[in-house]
């Protein structure tokens, strides 16, 4: 634990050091008063950013004006990510200079400056300017990303499942995940997203957890009305995510925490959603059947709860001759840790949880996000043998009130 703490502290220290060097270099030609003012503003922004992070849990963010809260959080994240980018570029420069020094000084006994340039700027100055531009782009990108928090993207997936009964071929399933109601600040924008879901004319709607950030009260009467607008012929089913249990806030006692979860369950029932708690249902069309399984949060990561019980959810299912089974399990780490090993008859597992970290590159040809260093499966469709996993990028947002490169997602599956 302490080793990790000191590593993080060291990275932060280096990022701050290099960022200050780059900023100081950028303003070196300013008049003395302007140079002092620019550096003072930079240091003030740095102090404000770190105070917000240090006091993050002590600040009641929900009570702050939404616009200023969103701008502040976006600025701080962009500022910090920008400094990390500066750190990476400047480390490359220092490593380059070290090797150049070794080669010129040790191998050739040459005292020529490794940064000497003919008719242009030095490599170090060029890299400092590059680092400054990258840092600035990060800050601007995170600020502009606020506009994408309700920019819902419908992803359409045609998926063949072995053994799918004829009556279910062409079935249209919409998956939604990670709504995080407590982060929303615009009822109309959310209602528009729900409208986009209904525009897909789904036969079945599945929600894979994290309806709230922490408190059941986040779903006010207006949001209950909006979410109750989700309707489908085969029903609307849901399961719980790690945030739904209220594990991340301090409760007066265990009963208060239980009451919060009970209220969340009853709210889902009021909205017409069927919450599956380590259980399954059989969906029928004529004489054909498929199974839908929903479990509580089950994570292979130590920091997240493991309340799910797939064995319990399967009870009574093995005796039935049902070829296609669809599992709703919030955390995608469940797939490799248990599903692929012990439940090889699950055709499709639907997850969320990662949000694609709400930041990254997400194109047809290339996907990248920092979250991939924590989760092997973090966005989109994954297949092993006859089993499939789909990780939804999330409908809502948490922490950062925006999306940069990874847009909020509504997934439409058409089974074949």
CATH code at position 161: 3.60.21.10
Q: Are residues 27 and 109 in the same domain?
A: yes
Q: Are residues 298 and 183 in the same domain?
A: yes
Quote the pLDDT of residue 321: 87
| Residue after which a domain boundary falls, among 99, 122, 146 | 146
Under a CB-based contact definition with an 8 Å cutoff, are residues 394 and 140 in contact?
A: no
DSSP type of residue 60: -
Q: Are residues 291 and 178 in the same domain?
A: yes
Q: Is the pLDDT of residue 7 over 60?
A: yes
Least confident of 107-111, 197-201, 260-264, 320-324: 107-111
Quote the pLDDT of residue 412: 98
- pTM beyond 0.85: the answer is yes
Structure-block tokens of residue 66: 């939404």
Least confident of 89-93, 205-209, 238-242, 403-407: 89-93
Q: Give the up-direction half-sphere exposure of residue 217: CA atoms within 13 A in the CB hemisphere.
A: 4
Q: Is the pLDDT of residue 386 over 90?
A: yes
Share of the chain above pLDDT 70, in %: 95
Quote the pLDDT of residue 1: 63
| Residue after which a domain boundary falls, among 82, 111, 146 | 146
Quote the pLDDT of residue 146: 95
| Residue after which a domain boundary falls, among 122, 146, 170 | 146
Q: Are residues 390 and 275 in the same domain?
A: yes
Count the domains in the chain.
2
Q: Are residues 109 and 205 in the same domain?
A: no
Residues contacting residue 324 through CB under 8 Å, at least 6 positions apart:
161, 162, 163, 164, 165, 168, 290, 291, 347, 348
Give the pLDDT confidence of 138-152 residue by residue, as tens digits: 999 999 999 999 999
Q: Is the pLDDT of residue 77 over 80?
A: yes
Under a CB-based contact definition with an 8 Å cutoff, are residues 81 and 134 in contact?
A: no
Q: Are residues 86 and 207 in the same domain?
A: no
> What average pLDDT score do residues 291-300 get?
97
Phi, psi for residue 382 in degrees, rounded to 5: -130, 140
Q: Are residues 156 and 237 in the same domain?
A: yes
Is the CA virtual torsion 330, 332, 335, 336 positive or negative? negative
Angle at 22 between CA 17 and CA 25, to 5 degrees: 125
Q: Are residues 219 and 140 in the same domain?
A: no
Of 263, 216, 213, 268, nearest to 243 (Cα)?
213
**Which domain covers residue 109, as residue numbers?**
2-146
Structure-block tokens of residue 266: 């009853």
- Interatomic CA distance for residues 187 and 123, integer angstroms: 51
> What average pLDDT score do residues 399-409 get?
96
In the beta sheet, which residues pair with residue 176?
Answer: 207
Q: Are residues 211 and 124 in the same domain?
A: no
- Interatomic CA distance for residues 355 and 349, integer angstroms: 17
In the beta sheet, which residues pair with residue 306?
Answer: 298
Q: Give the up-direction half-sphere exposure of residue 75: CA atoms within 13 A in the CB hemisphere.
A: 14
Quote the pLDDT of residue 121: 56
Cα dist from 124 to 109, 115, 192, 223, 365, whole Å = 22, 7, 50, 54, 33
Q: Are residues 303 and 175 in the same domain?
A: yes
In the beta sheet, which residues pair with residue 398?
Answer: none
Q: Where are the beta strands (DSSP E) in 105-216?
A: 153-159, 172-176, 204-207
* Pairing of β 409-415 and β 153-159: parallel
Q: Are residues 90 and 161 in the same domain?
A: no
Quote the pLDDT of residue 416: 93
Residue 115 — pLDDT band, cuts 50, 70, 90?
Answer: low
Quote the pLDDT of residue 285: 94
Structure-block tokens of residue 381: 């469709």
Quote the crossing angle between the two packed helices 2-26 and 123-144, to the nearest 10°.
110
Q: Are residues 31 and 75 in the same domain?
A: yes
């Amino acid at each position: 634990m302490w080793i990790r703490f000191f590593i993080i502290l060291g990275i932060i220290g280096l990022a701050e050091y290099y960022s200050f060097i780059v900023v100081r270099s950028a303003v070196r030609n300013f008049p003395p008063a302007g140079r002092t003012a620019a550096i003072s503003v930079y240091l003030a922004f740095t102090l404000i950013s770190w105070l917000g992070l240090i006091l993050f849990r002590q600040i009641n963010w929900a009570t702050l004006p939404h616009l200023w809260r969103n701008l502040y959080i976006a600025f701080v994240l962009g500022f910090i990510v920008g400094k990390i980018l500066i750190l990476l570029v400047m480390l490359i420069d220092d490593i380059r200079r070290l090797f150049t020094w070794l080669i010129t000084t040790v191998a050739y006994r040459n005292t020529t400056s490794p940064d000497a340039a003919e008719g242009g700027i030095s490599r170090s100055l060029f890299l400092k300017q590059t680092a400054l531009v990258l840092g600035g782009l990060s800050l601007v990108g995170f600020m502009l990303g606020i506009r994408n928090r309700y920019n819902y993207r419908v992803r359409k997936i045609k998926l063949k499942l072995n053994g799918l009964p004829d009556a279910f071929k062409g079935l249209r399933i919409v998956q939604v995940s990670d709504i995080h109601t407590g982060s929303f600040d615009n009822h109309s924008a959310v209602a528009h997203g729900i409208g986009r879901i209904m525009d897909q004319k789904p036969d079945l709607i599945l929600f894979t957890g994290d309806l709230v950030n922490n408190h059941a009260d986040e779903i006010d009467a207006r949001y209950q009305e909006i979410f109750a607008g989700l309707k489908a012929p085969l029903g609307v089913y849901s399961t719980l995510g790690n945030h739904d249990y209220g594990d991340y806030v301090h409760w007066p006692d265990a009963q208060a925490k239980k009451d919060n979860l009970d209220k969340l369950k009853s709210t889902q029932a009021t909205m017409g959603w069927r919450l599956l708690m380590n259980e399954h249902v059989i969906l029928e069309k004529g004489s054909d059947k498929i199974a839908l399984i929903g479990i509580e949060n089950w994570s292979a990561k130590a920091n997240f709860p493991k309340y799910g019980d797939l064995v319990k959810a399967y009870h009574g299912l093995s005796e039935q001759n049902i070829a296609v089974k669809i599992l709703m399990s919030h955390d995608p780490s469940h797939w490799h840790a248990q599903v692929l090993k012990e439940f090889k008859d699950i055709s499709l597992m639907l997850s969320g949880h990662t949000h694609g970290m709400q930041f990254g590159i997400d194109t047809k040809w290339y996907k990248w996000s920092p979250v991939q260093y924590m989760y092997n499966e973090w966005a989109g469709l994954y297949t092993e043998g006859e089993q499939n996993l789909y990780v939804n990028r999330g409908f809502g947002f948490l922490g950062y009130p925006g999306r940069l490169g990874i847009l909020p997602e509504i997934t439409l599956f058409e089974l074949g």
